[in-house]
Amino acid sequence: MKTKEIGFETSTHLLNSTFHPICMKATFSISAILALLSTFLKDFVGIEPYAGLAIIILFSIEIFTGIKSSIKEGNPFTSRKLWGGFIKLGIYMTLIGASNLLANHIPAKPFLGFSFNIYEWLHYFFLNFTILQLFTSCIENFRRLGWGEFVPAIDKISTFLKLENTKKDKK
What is the per-residue DSSP string for 89-114? HHHHHHHHHHHHHHHHHSPPPEETTE
pLDDT in tens, 73-131: 998 878 888 888 899 999 999 999 999 999 999 988 887 888 888 999 999 999 999 99
Helices then strands, counting H and E runs in the chain, come out as 7, 2
C-alpha span between 120 and 104 (Å, rounded): 8
**CA distances for 41 relative to 19, 36, 115, 120, angstroms:** 28, 9, 26, 16
**CA distances for 18 relative to 2, 10, 28, 125, angstroms:** 16, 12, 14, 44
Task: Give the pTM.
Answer: 0.75
The confidence band for 170, taking pLDDT boundaries of 50, 70 and 90, is very low
pLDDT in tens, 20-61: 889 989 999 999 998 888 888 888 899 988 898 999 999 999
